[in-house]
Structure 1
Amino acid sequence: MARDMRLNMKWFSKGNIQKQLLSIYIIAGLVPIGIIGTILLVSTFSMFTGYNRNLLESYGQRVSTTLFEITTQAYNISEKFAYSQSMWNTLSCEYTSFDQEKDTIDEIDIIDSYNYEYTAIESVEIYSDNPYIQDYRQFYEATDTIKDSKWYQKAISRKAAFWEGLPRQDENGTTYYNICLIRQIPLVDSKYHAVLVMRLSDNYLRTRLREQQYSVVISVNEGSVSFCSDNSYYGQILTDLLPVDYGKEHYTYQGTKSINGRMSMLNVNTLSAYRADSILYITTIDYNSISRFFIILVFIIIILLLALIVPYEILRLFSRYFSDRVVTLKSAVHKVSSGEYDIVPSLEGEDEISEAFSDLVITAHEIKQKNEQMYKAQLDRKELLNRQSQMELKMLTSQINPHFLYNTLETIRMKAVTAGDREVAKAIKILGKMLRFVLDKGNSDEVSLASSLDHVENYLSIQKMRFGDKVGYEIHIDDDIDPESVTTMPLIIQPLVENAIQHGLREKEGNGIIRVDITKVMLDSTEEDSKSALKITVTDNGEGMSAERLSELKESIKTPSDDGSSIGISNVYNRIKLKYKDPYTMTIDSTKGVGTVINLYVPIQIRHN
């Protein structure tokens, strides 16, 4: 696995830096964003269509419920007409004059009462084959055309009511459609027939079923469209708009279809009419959802393209700038390595590369000076020249190596940042800080408590990257201690923390904690007054030690062995004893299975600026 990774990284390292950065971006940026974008589009489409399909289906169910209420109440009113004794008498009577007919009809209360009871009924028409009845109010003569119509024949051949879509024409000859309840009025002991036609009001239906976002189309049985909320499909056959299986009693359909040049979502559900042998097909249409989704789709695509193109252009410009500077640095290094020390004095930019270039310029200048001095000395004495040359090279190496190592770490960190590996970049940065602390402060007599704790925290951060949850830490300082002004010996806390990790938490499965506490205490002294001290406590919840092992450790730190098992804390113990004397010291307490506590007691030293 590791070998395959090395081979893959080796493939990335082919070509110049600019090509490497762009190649990594294509694989680490374009491909994931493309995959995520595709998943986003698919999931958005699925979620959007599902959501709108559910809304459309819910609206269809609401229309069905409303329509069931309207048709049920219409049927109940028709019962009053069909089984009214006065209605039977009026339709069975053989009138001697038209005036007699009008007087009889005017006396029927039910004729006008339906308008007050239910506004959903647009009109009531009663057709009779009684030749003594002439057209008056709601009563009409059943002409031959009426008698030959399918709905009339169906009505007089059966007792049950049924629904059907019927056309009608106004005075201007314009054709309208209504959803009509049709039923026979059973004339007991009469030779005549009568048929009741109750038309539902289109305006009332539009008011009850109005929804700005959706359109409603209703047809009865296999008939043509009898109601349409936007007047677009009156008289059309429903199968011309969408597939319908009339053989199913409870037919449902959901899908998309181009209607009037617009891709729309459709939902079809059926309603079995109350106590009538009829099925109403309710079609709800959403004209806008698909178009809205395509707008959202275009918006998402634009965002994805911007997310791909803008970073690519920025990275391309940066990689070109970065590559040019690296090429300049490479050329200068090549000149210096070839013995040509006259290079350009500076490099554009204020970052690690420019700092490395500045160090290279200084190094080249110093080497040039050293070479000149060596050349002059060679004229005087060859043996002395050789000795001086070796000394100067050692001096130069001691000057170059720390700077070179630190700057190299910074250059590697920048490459990691550029490659997007923030964790590696963070680790290198922390390691560089630790190196800088050791180089700058390691040989000092005193350093600030703040810089020592910063070094400890950097060390703990590195260990947490290595071990994860196995190593946790906390650092606490009393409020009355100013870590910037208080000073201590360098490198007396970090060895204790390192010992806690290596010997305390090494075998622990997880949830290891190292705690560093800084407090002020008073120590007993041989003098009359007690001495104030800085107490530095390092605590871990690791494996701990038995009483025998603790006793051995306390003795061994006084005379450290060469095996290195306790050299860190032994070094700290002896440095404190040598520098500060009594009563300042170090104590160790440990309990097997609980953890270890190390206390340092050092004098409180205040740095005055």
Structure 2
Amino acid sequence: MNITLFPKRIFRITKIKKQLYFIYIFALLIPILLIGIFLITNTYHLLLKHYQNQIEADNIRVKSIMFDVTTNVYNLSDDLFSDKDLQVLLANHYSSKEESAKACNNYSKITNFINKNTYISDIKLYTNNQTIAEYGNFIPATQEIKEALWYQEASNHADIIWKSMETTDYWKHTSQELSLIRRIPVISTGEYAILVIQISNNYLKNRIQNNSLFTAVSVNNEPVFYSTNRSLVGCNVDFSIDYEQNQYQYLGQFTYDEQKSIACISTLLPYISKDKIYISTLDFNALPDAYHIVAFCSIIILIACIVPFILFTLFTNHFSTRINTLLREMHKASNGDYNIIDNFKGNDELSEVFSDLKVMIRCIMQMDSKMYEAKLKEKEFTNQQQKMEFKMLASQINPHFIYNTLETIRMQSFTSGNRDVANAIKLLGKYLHYVLENTGTSSTTLKKELDYIQTYLAIQKLRFDDRVNYQLMIQDALNLEEYQILPLLLQPIVENAILHGLEGTNENGKIIIDVKVIEEEFLIIDIFDNGLGMTEDKLLELNQNIQTRKQNKTSNIGLYNINQRIKLYYGNAYGMNIKSRLEEGTLVTLTLPSHNTMED
């Protein structure tokens, strides 16, 4: 499928408002989100890399400090290891404590090392020479000391040993310190002494702790001897270190004490030793800082999406409202309603289109006015022609001749005893008299029209007997003389009810005429027959036919003419309405003004 067809289809089938949102989404929102996600992801990885490099650098720094300290301590131990005066001191047998104390006091090398090197906390020399009493840095190896694991390990191996040892200071405060343990053989006696050099934690603190990073240093799988968190000193902290590896290294995200961090754990191999010193550097602020920066960038991206969206929505709604207003007014004009708004907001192409619309409407209204005037003149000419035709027809008929002739026939029938014929001739005379009297007139009283309808129904009753029965219902206190209506308005409806409504009815046919006034404004005349009625489809077609006459349609012309006469003289608010149900009958309702608007 061609990728260009989708946008074309969208612009072809959707409204302008949706098209604008489509442009915003695909031209602005999606690119911003894609670029924003890429930048945020890249920034996050760069931040992690930065923090990892920072932590790794600090770990290397601490590693360098520890290497420097341990190497210096080893050099001191090597100096003591090869010192001849120390060999002599350890080999001599002393006769008294005073003599051994004097010899120990005269040996000042250890004291000088402690005083000159701040990284040394203490130096102790444990000897098996029982003639040497405990003095200063010289301590006889008691049975308790000999049973200690570090002492036994140093006694059995000539290697340099690094241990995390618990120490107690002058004030009885205990701490954990990194200590070098080395066996010094006394060559002349075959005995040996155990040298223990302790590294000062205060020195390590001054050298290592210069930032907010978490640092912990331990040797082998022993308790931590140094940590920036002093509560961890002397505790075995599980950093998931693989102690079997010769050079364990880890750099990345790390969870410790339910806190996420970035960690760097490395291994230091002290000089000429099989022991391993593990340096752990953790930054608990790295990930939160990275998250905060990412969140800040995300907020900026979100603002970059929301602010244009708000502005775009305001513009789209304003533009769409103007489009809909223009479209509504154009629809009104296309349906013949030229009463459109006067002003249209804006000063752009849409405003120009609206101005052109108003000019077009003015031209149409002028043309309609001229056409209406032409139709009025044509209608007036037609009415005048019809009036002349009626007058010509009426002039050919001498009403007195008709009345006298019918009266003569009626009297002969009455003399002959044929009263039904006489009555029929009388009714026919009244019928013709009303028709001829109202030929060429434009109004008559409601009483005369109803009398004429009663005469007409009486004639039909003579023709159809029980098939046609009628009833006239007048609202109480209704003065029929006060109301004027168009003459010959009801007779076509009643005739239609007899010929079509009561068609097929042999007996009990009924026509009811109900006259009433509603809300002192409408004169309602209901003409009901209890005949066959009609289906909904036929009723719908009939109501359409009386509203709009179809070309070449000869049926229902009488009802159409009545409805048009009413609307022509009274207005579109008045007219005819038909209701019907199959096998139940038909109701024709005429709605006329209750006030007299007719002129004779």
Normalising by the smaller structure, the TM-score range is: 0.5 to 0.7
1:116–1:26 CA distance, 2 compared to 1 (3 A)? same
Residue number in structure 1 paired with 2:160:
161
Paired amino acid for 1:293: A
Residue number in structure 2 paired with 1:66:
65
* Alpha-carbon separation, structure 2, partners of 1:211 and 1:370: 96
2:264–2:282 Cα contact (<8 Å) kept: yes
Residue number in structure 1 paired with 2:326:
329
Secondary structure in 2 matching 1:11 = helix
1:214–1:284 Cα contact (<8 Å) kept: yes
For normalisation by structure 1, the TM-score amounts to: 0.57
Deviations 1:506-545 (A, max 9, x none): xxxxxxxxxxxxxxxxxxxxxxxxxxxxxxxxxxxxxxxx
Gaps of 5+ in 1: 381-609
Instruction: Report the Cα offset of residue 335 of structure 1.
Output: 3.5
Residue number in structure 2 paired with 1:257:
254
Deviations 1:67-86 (A, max 9, x none): 11111111111122121111
Paired amino acid for 1:101: S
The 10-residue stretch of structure 1 (51-60 or 364-373) with the greater mean CA deviation from structure 2: 364-373
Residue number in structure 1 paired with 2:52:
53
Secondary structure in 1 matching 2:234 = coil
2:101–2:133 Cα contact (<8 Å) kept: no
Instruction: Report the Cα offset of residue 56 of structure 1.
Output: 1.0
Residue number in structure 1 paired with 2:75:
76
1:12–1:24 Cα contact (<8 Å) kept: no
Q: Give 1:445-484 correspondences, 5 Å limit.
A: none
Instruction: Report the Cα offset of residue 337 of structure 1.
Output: 4.1
Q: Give 1:222-233 correspondences, 5 Å limit.
A: 222-233=221-232
Instruction: Report the Cα offset of residue 120 of structure 1.
Output: 0.8
Q: Say if 2:316 is the partner of 1:319.
A: yes
1:19–1:298 CA distance, 2 compared to 1 (3 A)? same
Structure 1 residue corresponding to 2:354, chosen from 354, 357, 371: 357
1:14–1:20 Cα contact (<8 Å) kept: no
Residue number in structure 2 paired with 1:219:
218
Q: Say if 2:103 is the partner of 1:85.
A: no
Q: Give 1:264-275 correspondences, 5 Å limit.
A: 264-275=261-272
Deviations 1:321-365 (A, max 9, x none): 211110011122333444554421221233332333234334433
Q: Give 1:393-432 correspondences, 5 Å limit.
A: none
1:177–1:235 Cα contact (<8 Å) kept: yes
Residue number in structure 1 paired with 2:487:
none
Secondary structure in 1 matching 2:181 = strand
Instruction: Report the Cα offset of residue 138 of structure 1.
Output: 0.9
* Alpha-carbon separation, structure 2, partners of 1:350 and 1:116: 93
* Alpha-carbon separation, structure 2, partners of 1:314 and 1:257: 45
1:216–1:228 Cα contact (<8 Å) kept: yes
Instruction: Report the Cα offset of residue 206 of structure 1.
Output: 1.2
Instruction: Report the Cα offset of residue 191 of structure 1.
Output: 4.2
Q: Give 1:209-608 correspondences, 5 Å limit.
A: 209-238=208-237, 240=238, 242-338=239-335, 340-366=337-363, 368-369=365-366
* Alpha-carbon separation, structure 2, partners of 1:119 and 1:220: 21
Residue number in structure 1 paired with 2:117:
118
Secondary structure in 2 matching 1:193 = strand
Instruction: Report the Cα offset of residue 165 of structure 1.
Output: 1.0
Residue number in structure 1 paired with 2:94:
95
Deviations 1:167-218 (A, max 9, x none): 1234565431111111112211114321111111111111111231312211
Instruction: Report the Cα offset of residue 223 of structure 1.
Output: 1.8
1:12–1:142 CA distance, 2 compared to 1 (3 A)? farther
Instruction: Please provide the CA RMSD for this pair.
Output: 2.8
2:114–2:123 Cα contact (<8 Å) kept: no
Instruction: Report the Cα offset of residue 288 of structure 1.
Output: 0.8
Q: Say if 2:147 is the partner of 1:148.
A: yes
Instruction: Report the Cα offset of residue 123 of structure 1.
Output: 0.8
The sequence identity of aligned pairs, in percent, is 32
1:346–1:354 Cα contact (<8 Å) kept: no
Deviations 1:294-343 (A, max 9, x none): 21122223223323333323322322221111001112233344455442
Instruction: Report the Cα offset of residue 379 of structure 1.
Output: 11
1:18–1:316 Cα contact (<8 Å) kept: no
Residue number in structure 2 paired with 1:519:
none
Secondary structure in 2 matching 1:186 = strand
Larger radius of gyration: 2
Residue number in structure 2 paired with 1:138:
137
* Alpha-carbon separation, structure 1, partners of 2:179 and 2:162: 6
Instruction: Report the Cα offset of residue 270 of structure 1.
Output: 0.9
Gaps of 5+ in 2: 378-600
Deviations 1:30-55 (A, max 9, x none): 43333333323322221111111111
Instruction: Report the Cα offset of residue 29 of structure 1.
Output: 3.7
Q: Give 1:197-216 correspondences, 5 Å limit.
A: 197-216=196-215
2:10–2:19 Cα contact (<8 Å) kept: no
Deviations 1:465-523 (A, max 9, x none): xxxxxxxxxxxxxxxxxxxxxxxxxxxxxxxxxxxxxxxxxxxxxxxxxxxxxxxxxxx
Instruction: Report the Cα offset of residue 60 of structure 1.
Output: 1.2
Deviations 1:376-422 (A, max 9, x none): 89999xxxxxxxxxxxxxxxxxxxxxxxxxxxxxxxxxxxxxxxxxx
* Alpha-carbon separation, structure 2, partners of 1:331 and 1:319: 18
2:214–2:283 Cα contact (<8 Å) kept: yes
* Alpha-carbon separation, structure 1, partners of 2:228 and 2:363: 92
Instruction: Report the Cα offset of residue 111 of structure 1.
Output: 2.0
Paired amino acid for 1:109: S
Secondary structure in 1 matching 2:302 = helix
Secondary structure in 1 matching 2:191 = coil
Paired amino acid for 1:97: S
Paired amino acid for 2:323: V
Residue number in structure 2 paired with 1:186:
185
Secondary structure in 1 matching 2:255 = strand
* Alpha-carbon separation, structure 2, partners of 1:368 and 1:166: 110
Instruction: Report the Cα offset of residue 226 of structure 1.
Output: 1.6
Secondary structure in 1 matching 2:186 = coil
Paired amino acid for 1:203: N
The 10-residue stretch of structure 1 (304-313 or 184-193) with the greater mean CA deviation from structure 2: 304-313
* Alpha-carbon separation, structure 1, partners of 2:6 and 2:247: 64
The 10-residue stretch of structure 1 (337-346 or 270-279) with the greater mean CA deviation from structure 2: 337-346
* Alpha-carbon separation, structure 2, partners of 1:30 and 1:7: 18
For normalisation by structure 2, the TM-score amounts to: 0.58
1:66–1:208 Cα contact (<8 Å) kept: yes
Deviations 1:417-453 (A, max 9, x none): xxxxxxxxxxxxxxxxxxxxxxxxxxxxxxxxxxxxx
1:91–1:128 Cα contact (<8 Å) kept: yes
Deviations 1:219-269 (A, max 9, x none): 11222212112214222334x2x2211221111012323323421111111
Deviations 1:583-605 (A, max 9, x none): xxxxxxxxxxxxxxxxxxxxxxx
1:130–1:141 Cα contact (<8 Å) kept: yes
Instruction: Report the Cα offset of residue 5 of structure 1.
Output: 2.5
1:257–1:263 Cα contact (<8 Å) kept: yes
1:170–1:118 CA distance, 2 compared to 1 (3 A)? closer
Instruction: Report the Cα offset of residue 370 of structure 1.
Output: 6.6
Instruction: Report the Cα offset of residue 12 of structure 1.
Output: 4.6
